[in-house]
Structure 1
Amino acid sequence: MPLTPELLRALPKAVLHDHLDGGLRPQTVLDLCREQGLQPPGGSGASAEDVARWFAGSADSGSLELYLETFSRTLELMQTAPALRRIAREFVEDMVADGVVYAETRWAPMQHLAGGLALVEAVDAVQAGLEEGMASARAAGRPILVGQLLCFLRHLAPMPELVDVAAARREQGVWGVDLAGPELGFPAAPFREQFDRAREAGLRVTVHAGEADGLTSIRDALDCGAERLGHGVRLVEDLSADGRPGPIAARVREDGICLEVCPSSNLQTGAADSMAAHPAGALLRAGIPLSISSDNRLMSRTRTSRELARLAEAFDWTLEDVGRTVLAGIDAGFGPEAERRALREDVIVPAFAAAERRQAEQV
């Protein structure tokens, strides 16, 4: 049984790395521009397809810094509670449509206060949308568990209030904190105190590292207590020609630090030159835990099943290889352990086992 896009879309998946402000539907961009009196990307007569092309083309720069500039167009639309609630609800709907059963959406609430929202009001609006989406999916018999990660931004000063809000909402769907934004020249170390506070409050910590900067940035993130690495693909620089890990890669492997790998955006930001040369193949062979995600579905015109399909084609991955990445994702998730375990054992493992049986029957 070939690993077709249809098969990969139908299989249950875990998404660890998907930005709320990078996953708006093109039609939602048009609708919110109209409601807020803003010119849509692509011009006043733009269609949803025009908007989709504009974002993907603008993001396809080969530079993380230029890639990040496209977010100014989505952020300006996400300054009210109704807009945040809608986008969060649609996030869940789009995950369900792609066969995802576990997802974390990350965003930086401090970027959504220009319209007068308080930090906690913005977080609560997103959670309300996520809850609506999950309730609708479950009513339709589609199990899914979704939560939030709140992002610090490397180029801004640490914001202690972010941990306070996250800690207060830990039992209501805020599972952890992240460090995002321009990586090169902005180390993680200044945020270490906030990460320590987050862990003391029972929150989990992930850090974008190893995308626009290399091993020094990865080591910095690990030293700050990162439990996962956002992207992390430049860890491949610590593998020998025959795949043996150096000290940093060995640390990642031995500590079970999962890499949140997003292939299409890595090509757009210059972290990889081509899909055939993407580090995911070598990293998986070296035993590094990998989870595959979509990062920014609007900017990359993608979804997680497409990301898996691209890697499977590039590296001749088997169903077992794909299953390894999905299980790595659910195991490294920051959501409630009992619920993750139930999804793993009752949904993911049986679905992959059934697919493997069908595949064996066709041989």
Structure 2
Amino acid sequence: MALYADLHRHLGGSVVPRVLWRYFQRRDLELSERFPDYAEFEEFYTRSRNTLDEYLELHTLVESVQSAETLPYFIYRLIRGAYIFENLAYLELRYTPYLRTSEALSQTQRIDEMAKIVEIVGKTSRVPEYPMVTSQILCTHSRLPYAVNRAIVDLAAQMPEYVCAIDVAGGDSHYAERLDEFIQLYEYARSRGIKTTGHLYETPDGCYPELLPYLMRIGHGIQIPLRYPHLLKDVAARNQCLEVCPTTYLKTGTLDDLHHLKTVFDRCFDAGVDIAICTDNAGLHNVRLPFEYENLLTQDVIDFRQLQACQEAAFRHAFAWPHDQPPASLLTEALTR
């Protein structure tokens, strides 16, 4: 039975390298010529980058081939792999719908097309042979105009059957010059009853305490226990959960050793702050959620008790999980009746 939940996975970074490369070979002559050999493509696609901004450039490669026509191809394979190989019972996919619309259209036309993208992602994520609860988090973006970001928030409110929350993404170092805009967007979202998370305190350049009160969960947030542990008391009081994505910090150059996360977990547990262990970009990393668990355990970052607590926290903080217990508890009850 599927047992796990992933609260932080990007649609753009979720395509595993083999699936993406095969798509190029079959359907995209330009990219197939650019990447004729799989081994070379895998090395390029999954290698570590020096900075978060450099790492995020890879998303544009996938976004360029994810459209209304091709999304069903990618999402079916994503769901199949998540269910069979990762034992996921629950998955939140996050992305910016505007970036899946055609650049040939005007801004107004692209905004109008976003609802179609959300519907396609929602419908194709529900695969009967791979029963899993799925929902979407729509990402506002640091490099998109305010009007587009506002339309993304409105879309989240209009399509609750598919969308469970909003996010802010695009590289946390780019928020500073538009911080007031993002505060306004989060205030607006909360006023409309939309749940919230946000890429924040991922890197030393992305620490904005002004945004913290508006978030129900914190995307990454590792710099809080590492650099600003005095904030943990308030994080705990707001019942905010950190979405920690271990492999990401090595791939982006944010951390040079996974063992730094031991401080993150220990300080959060001591302060009563929940952590959900997530994949972020499972395809870019060529890493699935059970491996994230195993890696943290074998490197003595966490112990089994802490792992179980994080797994339970993921369901407790899931925005669209329809039960009051995680699946393991539901299974235990069914088997002991």
TM over 0.5: yes
Task: Map Cα deviations across residues 72-131 of structure 1 (whole Å, 9 max, x no partner).
Answer: 2111111x2231122222222222120111110100111111265611111111112112
In the superposition, the TM-score normalised over structure 1's length comes to 0.81
Q: State the SS of the aligned residue for 2:260.
A: coil
The aligned residue for residue 233 of structure 1 is: 222
Query: How has the CA–CA distance of structure 1 residues 181 and 67 changed in structure 2, closer, same or farther, with 3 Å as cutoff?
Result: same
Give the C-alpha shift of residue 303 in structure 1. 1.1
Which of 136, 141, 145 lines up with 1:148 in the alignment? 136
Which of 164, 170, 177 lines up with 2:166 in the alignment? 177
Q: How many residues align?
A: 319
In the superposition, the TM-score normalised over structure 2's length comes to 0.87
Q: Distance in 2 between matches of 1:234 and 1:351?
A: 37
Q: Distance in 2 between matches of 1:130 and 1:176?
A: 17
Task: Map Cα deviations across residues 104-159 of structure 1 (whole Å, 9 max, x no partner).
Answer: 0100111111265611111111112112x2x2213xxxxx2110000011232232
The aligned residue for residue 29 of structure 2 is: 37
Q: Distance in 2 between matches of 1:199 and 1:267?
A: 33
Query: Which amino acid in the other structure matches residue 195 of structure 2?
Result: R
**Kept in 1: contact 2:2–2:89 (CA 8 A):** no
Query: Which amino acid in the other structure matches residue 61 of structure 1?
Result: R
Task: Map Cα deviations across residues 283-324 of structure 1 (whole Å, 9 max, x no partner).
Answer: 343232100011101221111111111111222633321110
Q: Distance in 2 between matches of 1:85 and 1:164?
A: 24
Q: State the SS of the aligned residue for 2:280.
A: coil
Query: Which amino acid in the other structure matches residue 283 of structure 1?
Result: R
Query: Which amino acid in the other structure matches residue 328 of structure 2?
Result: I
Query: How has the CA–CA distance of structure 1 residues 326 and 150 changed in structure 2, closer, same or farther, with 3 Å as cutoff?
Result: same
Query: Which amino acid in the other structure matches residue 45 of structure 2?
Result: F
**Kept in 2: contact 1:87–1:129 (CA 8 A):** no
The aligned residue for residue 124 of structure 2 is: 129
Residues 292-331 of structure 1 aligned to structure 2 (within 5 Å): 292-315=277-300, 317-331=302-316
Q: Distance in 1 between matches of 2:87 and 2:332?
A: 13
Where in structure 2 are there 5+ consecutive unaligned residues?
A: none
Give the C-alpha shift of residue 236 in structure 1. 1.7
Query: How has the CA–CA distance of structure 1 residues 167 and 11 changed in structure 2, closer, same or farther, with 3 Å as cutoff?
Result: closer
**Kept in 2: contact 1:215–1:238 (CA 8 A):** no
Residues 108-257 of structure 1 aligned to structure 2 (within 5 Å): 108-114=96-102, 118-131=113-126, 133=127, 135-138=128-131, 144-158=132-146, 159-170=149-160, 172-187=161-176, 188-213=179-204, 216-217=207-208, 219-223=209-213, 225-238=214-227, 245-246=229-230, 248-257=231-240
Q: Distance in 2 between matches of 1:351 and 1:314?
A: 30
Give the C-alpha shift of residue 30 in structure 1. 2.6
Query: How has the CA–CA distance of structure 1 residues 126 and 197 changed in structure 2, closer, same or farther, with 3 Å as cutoff?
Result: same
The aligned residue for residue 341 of structure 1 is: 324
Query: How has the CA–CA distance of structure 1 residues 37 and 328 changed in structure 2, closer, same or farther, with 3 Å as cutoff?
Result: same
The aligned residue for residue 267 of structure 2 is: 283
Query: How has the CA–CA distance of structure 1 residues 181 and 350 changed in structure 2, closer, same or farther, with 3 Å as cutoff?
Result: same
Amino-acid identity (%): 20
Which of 96, 102, 107 lines up with 2:83 in the alignment? 96
Q: Distance in 2 between matches of 1:136 and 1:258?
A: 31
Query: How has the CA–CA distance of structure 1 residues 189 and 310 changed in structure 2, closer, same or farther, with 3 Å as cutoff?
Result: farther
